[in-house]
Chains A and B, each alone.
Chain A
Amino acid sequence: MATLTMTGAKPVPSTMQIAIKEAFLTAFLVFMLSFLMIGFETQAQQGQPLSYVTRFAAIVWGIILVPLGRILIVFNRHGRPMPALIGGGFAFLYLFGGAVIAILFDVLVIPFNDYFGEAAGAAGIPLPFADPIVDAIFGLGALYIVILGIQTMRHTAHGELTLAQREAKEARTALRAKQISMVLGPALLVTALVLPFTPWSDRVLVETMTLILTYVMLGWGLNIVVGLAGLLDLGYVAFYAVGAYSYAKLATEFGLDFWASLPLAGAFAAFFGVVLGFPVLRLRGDYLAIVTLGFGEMIRITLINWQAFTGGPNGITGIPRMTFFGVPFDRTPEEGTQAFHTLFGLEYSTMHRILFLYYVILGLALITNFFTIRLRKLPIGRAWEALREDETACRALGINPTNTKLTAFALGAMMAGFAGSFFAVRQAFISPESFVFLESAVILAIVVLGGMGSQVGVALAAVLLIGLPEVMRELSLYRMLAFGAVMVLIMLWRPRGLLAHREPTILLRRGGGKAKPRKAGATA
């Protein structure tokens, strides 16, 4: 992955010389990064001054292993993949396998909360790092080296591509993204529709999927703003919060039910979008980003401090739960009224409400999707995309940039408002904690990782970013680390997003069968 460029017209050094030089540089860097932060673990104990314990063994292992990997990469880069395959393969098997055994051993034999390091010793495998997860991470690094080796073997190695080659590669990637989307989209939809009724579905799964779908909807909503109109919004969560608090207040103060509040919450959020957007949409690119970020924080701080209206940091509790269009899901309905299970003559089950919530968010998300796809093909949608491409040209064509941006901003906000209402009715409790910047960042990441403008891509990214951490709850502490790392790695691997491709909104020759069979320009 990394290349240090050599300068100067000295005689060409041998691979070994380069490898040794780079290994020393790498060792130095590892030392610099780890000496203070890893070598000394500060410990804060109640009533005692701050102290530290040293962990030099870990640094030594790092300084040995990372440069070794570096040497393998250098050899691989010079067309000799065997060391990478063998060395990397061995390291991967030993470190990753050993770590897995140690973790399993720990889970199975040693009581749950015991110290991991002893477990590794107990499993009888001497691993370099006390924490087997760190061993596993190093193992994955070794796997990466093996993959590089395999790429070299198959002559698909990295290296400088000409512009034409790069364009061709991009076109191929876009075409593949299009093909994958065409299969994956319906597959995801069918899965979403039937999964709750398959045998291996349970409460946890349905709730996780409900969560994922909430983010899918938010992603699709933000896609209008970022993907189509090209406005970088880092405070999207503010509108989510407006929607959530709107429903909470309407339901607790005025006794409106979810279905009556939903349009109002959406309208409030859109109104906020217009009010916030109007002064700032003249700003370009990154200025808009920081101002929206600022607005997001301002709304959160206001929610924390406006005790009388928002309940402050404690939030709003006892928000009325979801009803089946007015019919509650209670076990024991009030005298003379129906509950969902009595209405349909079913056995009472808590799953009814959970399943209904699931299908509500699925429906809301699909409506958002339908709405967006259709908007894209209307003049307003084309104007958004044109603005994203070139605002100056738009003005020259007589398009009012401010109004056009405002509609995108307001519609995106409205979607977030709907999603926010749903969030409030699902949780029955909301507090400012749920509306921090990280949420905005996650939603933006879903849009960008998915491939800007790609609806299926957004859904896929939401499954990856929201679903995986839920699955990986076991790794509790490493969860967020992995989350951030996945964001970085996907961007490095696919800078345009996972499924980046763009279909024209109108084609002169549908299908292109009869006339010249040209491939429609598929650049995103």
Chain B
Amino acid sequence: MSFTAAAMAEPDDTSLLKVTHLTMRFGGLLAIDDVSFVARQREITGIIGPNGAGKTTLFNCITGFYKPTIGRLELFRDGKVAYLLEQMEGYAIGQKARVARTFQNIRLFAGMSVLENLMVAQHNKLMLASGYTVFGMLGLPVYRKAERAAQEKAVHWLERCGLIDHADLSAGNLPYGAQRRLEIARAMCTDPVLLCLDEPAAGLNPRESAELNQLLLSIRDETGIGVLLIEHDMSVVMGISDHIIVLDYGKKISDGTPAEVQRDPAVIRAYLGEEEKE
């Protein structure tokens, strides 16, 4: 039971998100059952588990798409609790708490261009700079400057994600792998403190998958934000996660470093089935 210690670990200065006794019930179905863990800055926290283990539901609770039945989701800033996510409106979690996410089934603004997708991501900042449209309408320099800055940031992330050549294409016409990267770029353009990635490597070929690993590692190292990563591809999860949480049937069955988790008998049982017990 080594993981209980980790779960109950007191948050310190590097804590970013503390999930306590999170439970989500849909009618008779217990999708998440009393899950607690801590995610830290400058760390990639991998969340793994068989299909239907409640991983995406966990994300939906953190990003406000679902209201948890029970539990507390504390977001830290400078070591102090700054936001209680379970009490916030969905859009405010992105706007104020600055938690960004991507989706398992890609959700881009397919009819808009790649660059526009990244500009939309900076909506709140630009909206303020455009004086809620008034300054923008008048074409005041304050807005023009903000727009240029936003475009520069977009270009920065386009370059990082290898999309700069596609900037003016419409997002829906991109190849699949590029769409996945665009979703990450778009999430990064919101200046998040916590980035939640829902199966970013799904459908990628091995080369793309390796590139993705590099991208995520560099995001972690350069920006120092925390990353929550749901992934089925074990080479991705084990290769880049600093810390892994294993869910099964809505319960947390293991929590620790990749090496610890790989050795945990509960995890082996969940993944490989009953025969392994013998």
Are A and B in contact, CB atoms below 8 Å, in the complex? yes
Q: What class of interface size applies to chain A in its complex with B?
A: 35 or more
Q: Closest B residue to A411 by CB, please name it.
A: B133
Chain A residues numbered 394-442 whose CB sits less than 8 Å from any CB in chain B = 394-401, 407
Q: Nearest chain B CB to A396's CB is how many angstroms away? A: 5
Pick the contact of A395: B90, B121, B130, B132 (CB < 8 A).
B90
Question: What chain A residues lie within 8 Å of B271 (beta carbons)?
Answer: none
Chain A residues numbered 360-414 whose CB sits less than 8 Å from any CB in chain B = 371, 374-375, 378-380, 382-383, 385-386, 388-390, 392-401, 407
Considering the chains assembled together, what is the distance between the CA atoms of A521 and B174 in angstroms? 10
Q: Nearest chain A CB to B229's CB is how many angstroms away? A: 16
Q: Closest B residue to A371 by CB, please name it.
A: B137
Question: What chain A residues lie within 8 Å of B101 (beta carbons)?
Answer: 396
**Contact indicator B111/A389 (Cβ below 8 Å):** yes
- Tell me whether A389 and B112 are in contact in the complex, defined as CB-CB below 8 angstroms, given that A382-B119, A395-B91 are known contacts: yes
Considering the chains assembled together, what is the distance between the CA atoms of A195 and B253 in angstroms? 78
Question: What chain B residues lie within 8 Å of A394 (beta carbons)?
Answer: 91, 120
One of A26-34, A270-278, A304-312, A503-511 at the interface: A503-511
**Contact indicator A379/B173 (Cβ below 8 Å):** no
**Contact indicator B112/A375 (Cβ below 8 Å):** no
**Contact indicator B170/A521 (Cβ below 8 Å):** yes
Pick the contact of B123: A398, A505, A522 (CB < 8 A).
A398
Q: Nearest chain A CB to B151's CB is how many angstroms away? A: 7
Q: Is B136 an interface residue (CB 8 A)?
A: yes
Q: Nearest chain B CB to A95's CB is how many angstroms away? A: 44
Which of A380, A396, A397 has the most C-beta atoms of chain B within 10 angstroms of its own C-beta? A396
Considering the chains assembled together, what is the distance between the CA atoms of A489 and B167 in angstroms? 37
Q: Is A147 an interface residue (CB 8 A)?
A: no
Question: What chain B residues lie within 8 Å of A407 (beta carbons)?
Answer: 133
Q: Closest A residue to B126 by CB, please name it.
A: A379
- Tell me whether A385 and B111 are in contact in the complex, defined as CB-CB below 8 angstroms, given that A378-B136, A395-B91 are known contacts: yes
**Contact indicator B136/A379 (Cβ below 8 Å):** yes
**Contact indicator B109/A385 (Cβ below 8 Å):** yes
**Contact indicator A383/B123 (Cβ below 8 Å):** yes
Q: Nearest chain A CB to B227's CB is how many angstroms away? A: 16
Considering the chains assembled together, what is the distance between the CA atoms of A512 and B126 in angstroms? 26
Question: What chain B residues lie within 8 Å of A524 (beta carbons)?
Answer: 111
One of B45-53, B92-100, B256-264 at the interface: B92-100
Question: What chain A residues lie within 8 Å of B103 (beta carbons)?
Answer: 392-393, 396
Question: What chain B residues lie within 8 Å of A516 (beta carbons)?
Answer: 165
Q: Closest B residue to A507 by CB, please name it.
A: B168
**Contact indicator A512/B168 (Cβ below 8 Å):** yes
Considering the chains assembled together, what is the distance between the CA atoms of A516 and B164 in angstroms? 11
How many residues on the B side are at the interface (Cβ–Cβ under 8 A)?
50
Chain B residues numbered 160-219 whose CB sits less than 8 Å from any CB in chain A = 164-165, 167-173, 186-187, 190
Q: Is B107 an interface residue (CB 8 A)?
A: yes
- Tell me whether A382 and B116 are in contact in the complex, defined as CB-CB below 8 angstroms, given that A397-B100, A508-B155 are known contacts: yes
Q: Nearest chain B CB to A459's CB is how many angstroms away? A: 22
Q: Nearest chain B CB to A509's CB is how many angstroms away? A: 6
- Tell me whether A397 and B155 are in contact in the complex, defined as CB-CB below 8 angstroms, given that A375-B133, A507-B168 are known contacts: no
**Contact indicator A502/B111 (Cβ below 8 Å):** yes
- Tell me whether A396 and B137 are in contact in the complex, defined as CB-CB below 8 angstroms, given that A506-B119, A509-B168, A523-B172 are known contacts: no
**Contact indicator A504/B127 (Cβ below 8 Å):** no
Q: What per-residue 1/0 map shows which CB atoms of B50-89 lie under 8 Å from chain A?
A: 0000000000000111000000000000000000000000
Considering the chains assembled together, what is the distance between the CA atoms of A505 and B186 in angstroms? 17
Question: What chain B residues lie within 8 Å of A390 (beta carbons)?
Answer: 107-110
Considering the chains assembled together, what is the distance between the CA atoms of A379 and B151 in angstroms? 12
Pick the contact of A521: B127, B137, B173 (CB < 8 A).
B173
Q: Is B113 an interface residue (CB 8 A)?
A: yes
Q: Is B237 an interface residue (CB 8 A)?
A: no
Considering the chains assembled together, what is the distance between the CA atoms of A393 and B198 in angstroms? 13
- Tell me whether A507 and B115 are in contact in the complex, defined as CB-CB below 8 angstroms, given that A378-B137, A386-B109, A399-B124 are known contacts: yes
**Contact indicator B190/A520 (Cβ below 8 Å):** no
Q: Is A518 an interface residue (CB 8 A)?
A: yes
Q: Nearest chain B CB to A379's CB is how many angstroms away? A: 4
Question: What chain B residues lie within 8 Å of A505 (beta carbons)?
Answer: 116, 119
Pick the contact of B169: A393, A399, A520 (CB < 8 A).
A520
Q: Closest B residue to A503 by CB, please name it.
A: B113
Pick the contact of A400: B91, B112, B121 (CB < 8 A).
B91
**Contact indicator A398/B130 (Cβ below 8 Å):** no
- Tell me whether A386 and B120 are in contact in the complex, defined as CB-CB below 8 angstroms, given that A379-B130, A396-B94 are known contacts: yes
Considering the chains assembled together, what is the distance between the CA atoms of A177 and B95 in angstroms? 38
Q: Closest B residue to A516 by CB, please name it.
A: B165
**Contact indicator A379/B127 (Cβ below 8 Å):** yes
- Tell me whether A392 and B107 are in contact in the complex, defined as CB-CB below 8 angstroms, given that A379-B130, A382-B123, A506-B119 are known contacts: yes
Instruction: Give the interface of A toward B (CB within 8 A).
Output: 371, 374-375, 378-380, 382-383, 385-386, 388-390, 392-401, 407, 502, 504-509, 512, 516, 518, 520-524
Q: Would you mind naming 25 contact pairs between A and B with Cβ atoms under 8 Å apart?
A: A378-B130, A379-B126, A379-B127, A379-B133, A383-B127, A385-B109, A386-B123, A392-B65, A395-B64, A395-B91, A397-B100, A397-B120, A398-B93, A398-B95, A398-B124, A398-B190, A399-B95, A507-B168, A508-B151, A508-B155, A509-B168, A518-B168, A520-B170, A521-B172, A521-B173
9 closest cross-chain pairs (CB), A and B: A521-B170, A398-B94, A398-B95, A504-B113, A389-B109, A379-B126, A508-B167, A393-B107, A378-B136
